[in-house]
Structure 1
Amino acid sequence: MTLASKFLAEGTESPLIPHAYELVVGTFAFLVVFIVVGKILTPRIQKTLEERTEAIEGGIKKAEDAQAQAQRTLEEYRAKLEEARHEAARMREEAREQAAQLKAELREEAQAEARRLVEAAHAQIEADRQQAFAQLRGELGRLSTELAGRIVGESLEDEARQSRVIDRFLEELETTGGAAVR
């Protein structure tokens, strides 16, 4: 037998079954609390929860946007870095080309200067040769005149005398040469 059936059999009231007025007051109090909680507190709680949800979602959205912006900035940085590396490589190559071109120009200028110096030296040698040849010719003329003077027996120091001796020598050559031809 159960405890409730035992109390009912004895005719006493069961402590588990409430009185009717307690049931009405409890139901009324439950309805008041339910209405207050349902109509006043629940919307406020819902509103607060929605605000927090929006704040959290907004924070997540902001974090995602910030992360996307950081990723774009990182990609831009990497692109600029790569571009700077390419530019530096291009500038190095350009500097090498300019150095090679400058080296070739300097070599060409040096060769041209060497050719000019060689040509100037050849010209100087030719001028010195011509000068030596002229001096030698003058010396040879002087020695020839002196030798001719010794052969002829007269001094050929005087220009008029030299002309007479040369004229006389030429006349003798003509007469001897003419007699030999006949």
Structure 2
Amino acid sequence: MIKATVIAAGEGEVPTGIWLFIPPDYDILWSAVALVAIALLFWKKVLPTFTKILDERTELIQGGIAKAESAQAEAQEALAEYTRQLAEARAEAGRIREAARAEGSAIVAELRTKASEDAARILENAQRQIEAERQQASQSLRTEVGALATDLASRIVGESLADSARQSRVIDRFLDELEASTADQR
């Protein structure tokens, strides 16, 4: 501080009070010239570069926002399309299910009808077969009973009834006597 006082005292009068903080006029002038030179250099060279960089960044950001908005719109459209296709697929699945149920019911009904027809046919065939076997058994029984009856009759009568003419005469006589006895009982 002593040196600053000495330098200032060498030039003349020593500033006091607020003037200690205010520089001399020539310092203000040369500082202003330097400030204007730097400001012009900044305004002509640096500021346009910063402005250009900031404009590019703004464009990139706005382009990114626009791309994001378009991507979001496309995503919304895709979601709507997916939802529509899903609804169509569900409706189609429902129609297919209903068609399958109807077809299944028709097949079951057809199989029941066919089964009842088959059962009726099998029952009819069985009844025919039973009737044929009954008739065959009846005829076989008559033949055997007739043979036994003629054999028994030949033993009782004492004559041979092996001759077919005699057998038919004996059987006819027996049937006539049987008819006469039933007629008398009425």
| TM class, shorter-length | 0.5 to 0.7
Identity of aligned residues (%): 48
Q: Say if 2:97 is the partner of 1:92.
A: yes
Letter in 2 for 1:32: A
Partner Cα separation in structure 2 for residue 166 and residue 122 of structure 1:
34
Letter in 2 for 1:43: P
**Superposed displacement of residue 141, structure 1:** 4.2
How do 1:26-45 residues align onto structure 2 when only pairs under 5 Å count? 28-29=33-34, 31-45=36-50
Partner Cα separation in structure 2 for residue 123 and residue 144 of structure 1:
31
Q: Say if 2:124 is the partner of 1:122.
A: no
Partner Cα separation in structure 1 for residue 128 and residue 77 of structure 2:
74
The range that moved more, 147-156 or 26-35, is 147-156
Counterpart residue number, 2:56: 51
Counterpart residue number, 1:163: 165
The range that moved more, 66-75 or 142-151, is 142-151
**Superposed displacement of residue 26, structure 1:** 6.8
Which residue of the other structure, out of 68, 75, 94, is the alignment partner of 2:73? 68
8 Å CA contact 2:150–2:167 kept in 1: the answer is: no
**Superposed displacement of residue 115, structure 1:** 1.0
Counterpart residue number, 2:137: 132
Q: How many residues align?
A: 148
User: C-alpha deviations, 1:126-177, integer Å up to 9, x for none?
Assistant: 21232133124424644775698689863202x3xx336769xxxxxxxxxx
The range that moved more, 64-73 or 26-35, is 26-35
Counterpart residue number, 1:105: 110
Counterpart residue number, 1:79: 84
Partner Cα separation in structure 2 for residue 32 and residue 26 of structure 1:
10
| Structure-2 change in CA distance of 1:166 and 1:117 (3 Å) | closer
Partner Cα separation in structure 1 for residue 66 and residue 129 of structure 2:
92
Letter in 2 for 1:98: E
Partner Cα separation in structure 1 for residue 167 and residue 78 of structure 2:
112
Partner Cα separation in structure 2 for residue 114 and residue 24 of structure 1:
128
Partner Cα separation in structure 1 for residue 168 and residue 113 of structure 2:
59
| Structure-2 change in CA distance of 1:85 and 1:164 (3 Å) | closer
Letter in 2 for 1:96: R
| Structure-2 change in CA distance of 1:57 and 1:166 (3 Å) | closer
User: C-alpha deviations, 1:36-70, integer Å up to 9, x for none?
Assistant: 13211221121022112112102201211221232
